[in-house]
Amino acid sequence: MNEVTCVWQIPALLGEGPLWVAQENALYWVDILQRQVHRLEPASGHQRSWTFAEPITSLVQRQAGGFVGTTPDGFVTVDFESQTVAPIVLPEAHLPHNRFNDGKVDGYGRYWSGTMHKHEHEASGTLYRLDPDLSLHTMDTGYIITNGPAFSVDGKTMYHNDSVKGFVYAFDLQKDGTVGGKRPFTKLTFSENGAPDGMTVDSENCLWLAHYGGARLTRLAPSGEILQVVPLPVPNVTSCTFGGPQLDTLYITTAAQNMSPAELEKYPLSGSLFAYQPGVKGLPAAQFAG
Ligand code: BGC
Ligand code: CA
């Protein structure tokens, strides 16, 4: 499979947050706008979906078992059996024009997730860090859409982007969870390349970046040099993660939101889940230590 393959044809409005759960040999991913979580067992092709009362915008495993995630207002525990969530901390419950978006755990078991302006034009988004002791820390502000936290193999660099501003930023990440040295890592021009969306780092320390509106994934060296471009058959590529028993398969989410009937006819697989074997492996997703 070194071609991009559609592994679940479905018109997700906003497919996002792919998470490989090794114990289950299953890929979980969310459709934020339809309040759904989807699960695929690639070996058997078995599919399952849950609908929640509110969107799960990102999902991670908990070291103690089970899942935690983010809803529009903040961090929650997620229970699939009852299809319910329970709050951990809801820092933006008072901000109706914002919602949480992407999120990821770093090598120390801390959960990083940020917020965005729902109408995508005010810089009201904040990046938060939830520590294993459940204390919450505001780490950066001024984002229109926070997206794609990802961490270098040595854990010393964090990548995080503002999709509307077009920047992927790099930060120096300290052991104690503080960040410094924020700098532009790469900048996309929307009309040419789309917007930077979800990201993951492979075992060779290169960054895989989803291009929303840009119909592709790119692989970037730590220097920022583009090493590979992988075209997708749909415009809105939202996120990617490594999965499969060997962690050799990129699972790629996409979105059908905001497309006209003519565009949907031209790109009928919009919203579907795709897979691609790039010839390099990923690393297991870190689990929340709280
Ligand atoms: C957000 C969407 C947004 C898209 C654009 C996604 O991560 O969830 O709301 O339209 O990024 O970059
Ligand atoms: Ca995203």
- Ligand 1 atom 8: residue of nearest CA: 101
- Computed over its alpha carbons, how large is the radius of gyration of the chain? 17
Residue type present at position 269: L
Whole-number Å distance between alpha carbons of 270 and 255: 6
Which of 102, 197, 202, 248 is labelled catalytic? 197
pLDDT confidence of residue 2: 74
Nearest-atom index, ligand 1, CA of 198: 7
Boundaries of every domain in the chain: 5-276
Whole-number Å distance between alpha carbons of 177 and 123: 24
User: With a cut of 70, which residues of the chain have pLDDT below it?
Assistant: 1
Whole-number Å distance between alpha carbons of 17 and 91: 20
Q: Is the CB of 209 within 6 Å of ligand 1?
A: no
Nearest-atom index, ligand 1, CA of 101: 8
Residue 197 is among the residues annotated as catalytic for this protein: yes
| pTM for the full predicted model | 0.97
Q: What are phi and psi of 284, to 5 degrees?
A: -65, 145
pLDDT confidence of residue 1: 55
pLDDT digits (tens, 9 = 90+) for 195-245: 999 999 999 999 999 999 999 999 999 999 999 999 999 999 999 999 999
- Ligand 1 atom 12: residue of nearest CA: 163
- Ligand 1 atom 1: residue of nearest CA: 101
Name the burial class of residue 177, with classes exposed (0-12), middle (13-18) and buried (19+) by CB atoms within 10 angstroms of its CB: middle
Residue type present at position 229: V
Contact 194, 188 (CB under 8 A): yes
Q: Is the CB of 259 within 6 Å of ligand 1?
A: no
CATH fold of the domain at 5-276: Neuraminidase (2.120.10)
With CA atoms as reference, report the closest residue to 170 among 191, 194, 201. Answer: 201
Q: Is the CB of 158 within 6 Å of ligand 1?
A: no
